[in-house]
Structure 1
Amino acid sequence: MMELTPSIDSNQGQVILDVNSRVTLQDLVRVARGFATVSAEHGVVEKIEKARQVVDHFINESAPPIYGLTTGLGSLKKVRVSNELLLDYNQAVIMDHAVAVGPEAPLDVVRGTMFARLAALATGGSGVTPETFLGLLALLNSGVIPVVRMLGSVGEADLAPLADIGTVLIGKGEAWYKGTRMQGDLALSKAGIERLTLQPKDGLILVGANSFSAAVAGIALWDIQRDAQWSEVAATLSWAAFRANSSTLNVDIIRQRGPEAVNVGQRLLAMLHETKYQPQSIQDPLSFRCIPQVHGALAGAIARTETAVLAELTHSLDNPMVDVSANHLFSNGNFDPTEMVLHCDSLRNALYRIIVMLERRAGKLLSSHFSGLPTGLTSAEGYSGLDILPYTLISLTGEATRLAQVAAVQSGMAAEGIDDIGSSAAQSAINLRKLESIWRTMIAIEMVVAVRALQLADVKPGPFIQQIKDTLEAVIDGKETPAEKVRAIEHFIQSNDCFQVGHLQ
C-alpha cells in the first residue's frame, strides 16, 4: 500500500459542503491527506432530494425511457429495463464496470476521489438518492479506503476506478481499514456502515464522472504550487553562487512579459537583497537570464489549470443531468473533460521547460569553465565531488521528456462504436503527478549543488540566502553520499513553506 504524501498536517478539522460555496484545492488536500471530515449542510440534502423527485417521476412503465435510469448503458441504450429489475441492475452496473487494473492508487488519491464525487453530487444535478450520497459521505468519514486500481479510464467519466469505490459501498471489493486490507463487506461492518442497496440511476451516478482524474490532477497541482516556490528559491541560490548579473532582473524591462514574470523577478530581487558579489559576466546563460520569463509562464499555466480542475470538482457534469426547473433529465456530453486535459498537458509542458533550465544551471555550476569554481565543486584535488550528479539529472530529464508529451486522444471504440473517443484525462493527470515527483527531486539536486557552490564562491549572502543556506546545510549535515543529501532536502521541501523558512514576506 502506498503511503500518503506528507505535504499537509493530519487532523485538518472539517470541510463543509453547502449550496453557496465551492470547494478549493486546499479542501481537497485537507480531506485527501489530512483526513479532514466532510459534512453536508441541510440545504445540500434538500437540493439532492428535489432533484431526486424529478428522477423518481420517470421510473414508471408509461414514462419515456431515460438513459441509464430505465435503459441499459452504452450499446444497450435501446434496451428497456423493467421496474422489477432496476435494483439488481444498478448493483450490476457497479460490478460490470469494475474493470480497473494495474497498481493500486495512492490513499490520498482514493480519498480525494471520494471527496471530489461528493462535492459534485452536492450541487444537485445528478439525481442521486440522499441515501447513496450520505452513504458515500459516511464511507469517506469512517476511514474506510477502497482499493482502487489506477488503469482503465479513457477519460469520458472514470468508470473503472470509480466502480472500485462503488463495489465497497455495496459490500463487495476490497478496502483498507485502520491499516489492514480486507474484503469490502468486512470493512463496512468494522466501521459500522450499512452496505447500500443502490436505487435506479445510482449505479450510473457513482461511476459517471471524472472525479478520479480531477483528484489526481488537483492533488498534483497543490504540490506543484509548493514546488514552484521552492524552485524559485533553488534558482536564486544558483543565481547567487554563479554570480549572475542582476541587471536582467530589472522589473521595468520584464514588465513587457506580463505580471507573472514581474512577480517572479521581484521575488528573486527580494531573495537576493543585500547579497554581495562581483558579477562574472555581462550576459549569463539563458538558464539564468530567463528565469523570470519562464517561471512566470509556469505561474500562468498553474493558474489556468487550477481553474479547469476546480470546474471538474465543483460542477454536476452527470449524464443525463437533472434540471429541476424543467422537471426533466437531459442527455449531454458535459462529462468530457477535454478542457482540464488541455491545461494539464500545457502545465506539464511548462514544467518540462523549468526542468531543462534547472538541469542546465546545475551543470553550469559544476563546470569550472562556466562557474569559475572547481570542477565538480570539489575542495581537494583528484576528488569528483558532485561531478557525477549530472548523470542523475540527465536521467531524470529524459524521463520528464516522456511525461511531458501530450496525452493522445483515445482512438479505440467501445460500446459497439458509441463510445468512440476518449480524452485520456486520467493518463494526463497521472503523468502530471509523476512529473511533479521528478521535478521535486531535481529541485533538491539543484539545492545540493547550489549550497556547495555558495560555500566555495566569493559571495557574501544577504539575510534570506544566508538563512536558506544555513537551513539546508543543517538538513544535509551528516549525510555522506549525494543521494542521501538529495533525499534529505526533498523530504524537507515537501514539509515546509520556503518563505517562512527564509523569513521573507
Structure 2
Amino acid sequence: MFIQIDGNSLTFDQIYKVIYQGYSVKISDHAVEHIQKSRTLVEESITNNNVIYGVNTGFGKFSDTVISKTDLADLQINLIRSHACGLGEPFSLEVSRVMLLLRANALAKGYSGIRLETLQLLIDCLNQNIVPVIPSQGSLGASGDLAPLSHLALLLVGEGEAVYNDQRMQGEEALKLAGLKPIQLQAKEGLALINGTQAMTAVGVVSYLEAQKLADLADGIAALTLEGLQGILDAFMPESHAVRPYPEQQQVAARILSYLEGSQLTTSQGQIRVQDAYSLRCIPQVHGAIYQVLNYVKEKLLIEINSATDNPLIFADSGKVISGGNFHGQPIAFAMDFLGIAMAELGNISERRIERIVNPQLSGLPAFLSADPGLESGLMITQYAAASLVSENKVLAHPSSVDSIPSSANQEDHVSMGTTAARHAYQIIQNTRRVLSIEAICAAQAADIQGVDKLASETRKIYSRIRKTVPTIIKDRIFSRDIEALAADFKTFVQDTNYELAL
C-alpha cells in the first residue's frame, strides 16, 4: 500500500495512512520531471556563474558573500551543521515522521532545485521508519524552521541521531542497518532541505487531527453530563439555532439531541428549573464556534502542506530564480494560535460542567459524587486538577504570533514564532484531553447515581466505553490513574479510522 506525492495534492487522509497505517510513499512520475528540470536550471546557473542566494552565496546577513565553485558542497554541509541548534525535548516520533513526509512533498513540487536521489533518500527513511531525533525548541518560524529541519537533514548525511527499530542511535548507524547510504549534499540542497515551514506544519497537522476528534468526543461527554444533571433539552431544539444560522452551531445542537433521544433523565423548561447554566445551555454556541476554528485551521494547513516554502524558488519553465519569503510562517502561526485558543475554551467549558456535577449546591447529587460524603472526598480534587489544567491553558493560549525578535543582524527582522504557537497548541490539546477525561469520569459516576438504565441508548454506549477503562467508584482511590488511563484511551481515537463516539 502506498501513496504518491507530487507537492500539490497531499490530503489529511493520506497523511493519516502514512503515519498511522503504514502506507509507503513514492514520487509521482509527473513530479520527477519537475524535480529534474529545476535541478538542471540550478546546475546551468552555476556553470554560467549566475549569483543565486544560497547556491553560491552565504546565508542571511552573508547573502552578499559570493562563494567559489570549489566550495559549494562545503557551503551546504556547513549550513546543516551550523543551523542544527535545536534544543529541548525532541518532537514525538509521529510529528517527526509527518515532518519527513511534508518536507518530501514540498520538495516533490519541483521548485527547490534538489537532486532526485537526495529526495529519494528522504523518502526511503520515511518508508523504512528511520525517524530523525529533532529537538522541539529553537525555531523562529521564519527563514523556515531552520533548526528543526537541520536536524532532519543531518540524518540524510549520516549525522545526528535517529530512532530505528525502537532504538535511538547515530544517524549513520540507522542508515546502515536499513541498507541505506548517506548522501553528499550538492549546491542548493542543504538550503532546500531546511528552508520551509514543515516543523510548525507537522505539529499543526498532528494537533489538528487530535483536536478534531476531541471536539467530537466533547459533544458526547457533554450529552452524558446533561443527563447526569437532568439538563433541559429545549435549548437544543432546531428553532432557536435556525435564527442564528451558523452551520457548526446547528450541527452540534442536532448531534446533542441525537445522543439524548429516548433519555429518561433529561427535562424540559419548567419541569425542574426554567433554564440551565450557560455551560449546559450554550454547548451548541461554544462547541460550534470551536468547530468553526477547526475548519479554518484545516483550510490553512491544507494549503501549507501543498506549498513551496523555499527560498530561492526555481522556476524551470521560465528560467527564473526568485528570492522571496514563502518560508515565513505567519499564516500557520495565526492558525495555531487560533487552534490553541479554541481548544483552551473547550477545556474551559468542560471544567465548568465538572464543577456543576460535583458541587451539591448546583447538582442535586451527593457532594463530589462521594459514596460516603465527609469520610470520603470522592471526586472533589478532580475538579482542582481540571482547574489547574485550564489555568495553564490560559497562559499557553497567549498568542505567540504577536511576538517577533529580529535575527541575522537584522536581515531577518520579522519572524512568525509559528513553531512556538504550534507547540503551545499541542500542549493545550493534551491538557484539554485530560480535562475531558475528568468530565467523562464525573458524568459516568453521575449516571450511576441517576440510573444507568435511564440513559439514552447512544449515551449508554458512551458510558460503557468509559466504564471499560474506569470502573464505577465505590470508595476513594488514586484517581490520577483513572484520569490518565482514560486520557490515553481517548488518545487512541486519533489513530482509529473506524472511530465512532458511540462504540
Q: CA deviation at 1:33?
A: 4.0
2:10 matched to 1:17?
no
Same amino acid, percent of matched pairs: 28
Question: Closer, same or farther in 2 for the Cα pair 1:154/1:499, shift >3 Å?
Answer: closer
Q: CA deviation at 1:412?
A: 2.8
| TM-score normalised to structure 1 length | 0.93
Q: Partner residue of 1:276?
A: 264
CA distance in 2: counterparts of 1:344 and 1:78, whole angstroms: 34
CA displacement, residues 314-337 of structure 1 (integer Å, 9 cap, x when unaligned): 111211111222111111111112
Unaligned runs of 5+ in 1: 1-12
Q: Partner residue of 1:312?
A: 304
CA displacement, residues 453-496 of structure 1 (integer Å, 9 cap, x when unaligned): 11112682111112222332232128843222222322222224
Q: CA deviation at 1:386?
A: 1.0
Question: Closer, same or farther in 2 for the Cα pair 1:380/1:410, shift >3 Å?
Answer: closer
Q: Partner residue of 2:468?
A: 474
Contact 1:66 1:329 in 2 (8 A): yes
Q: CA deviation at 1:80?
A: 0.9
Which one-letter code corresponds to 1:216 in the other structure? V
SS at match of 1:209: coil
CA displacement, residues 378-434 of structure 1 (integer Å, 9 cap, x when unaligned): 233432211221111111111111111101444332221101121001101111111
CA distance in 2: counterparts of 1:268 and 1:415, whole angstroms: 53
2:377 matched to 1:384?
yes
Alignment of 1:279-358 (within 5 A): 279=268, 280-358=272-350
Which one-letter code corresponds to 2:105 in the other structure? A
Contact 2:216 2:501 in 1 (8 A): no
Which one-letter code corresponds to 2:219 in the other structure? E
CA distance in 2: counterparts of 1:348 and 1:385, whole angstroms: 31
Q: Partner residue of 2:355?
A: 363
Question: Closer, same or farther in 2 for the Cα pair 1:266/1:478, shift >3 Å?
Answer: closer
Counterpart of 1:140 (choices 126, 144, 155) is 126
Which one-letter code corresponds to 2:177 in the other structure? K
CA distance in 1: counterparts of 2:394 and 2:40, whole angstroms: 51
2:199 matched to 1:215?
no
2:198 matched to 1:199?
no
Contact 2:334 2:418 in 1 (8 A): no
CA RMSD of aligned residues (A): 1.8
CA distance in 2: counterparts of 1:257 and 1:369, whole angstroms: 35
CA distance in 2: counterparts of 1:91 and 1:261, whole angstroms: 52
2:490 matched to 1:493?
yes
Q: CA deviation at 1:181?
A: 2.0
Q: CA deviation at 1:35?
A: 3.7
2:258 matched to 1:263?
no
Question: Closer, same or farther in 2 for the Cα pair 1:110/1:53, shift >3 Å?
Answer: same
Q: Partner residue of 2:458?
A: 464
Alignment of 1:67-466 (within 5 A): 67-156=53-142, 157-255=144-242, 256-277=244-265, 278-279=267-268, 280-382=272-374, 383-457=376-450, 460-466=454-460
CA distance in 2: counterparts of 1:28 and 1:86, whole angstroms: 35
Q: Which moved more, 1:380-389 or 1:82-91?
A: 380-389
Q: CA deviation at 1:114?
A: 0.7
CA distance in 1: counterparts of 2:362 and 2:427, whole angstroms: 32
CA distance in 1: counterparts of 2:163 and 2:349, whole angstroms: 41
Which one-letter code corresponds to 1:114 in the other structure? L
Contact 1:29 1:112 in 2 (8 A): no
CA distance in 2: counterparts of 1:353 and 1:367, whole angstroms: 21
CA distance in 1: counterparts of 2:26 and 2:225, whole angstroms: 46
| TM-score normalised to structure 2 length | 0.93
Contact 1:109 1:215 in 2 (8 A): yes
Contact 1:26 1:222 in 2 (8 A): no
Unaligned runs of 5+ in 2: none
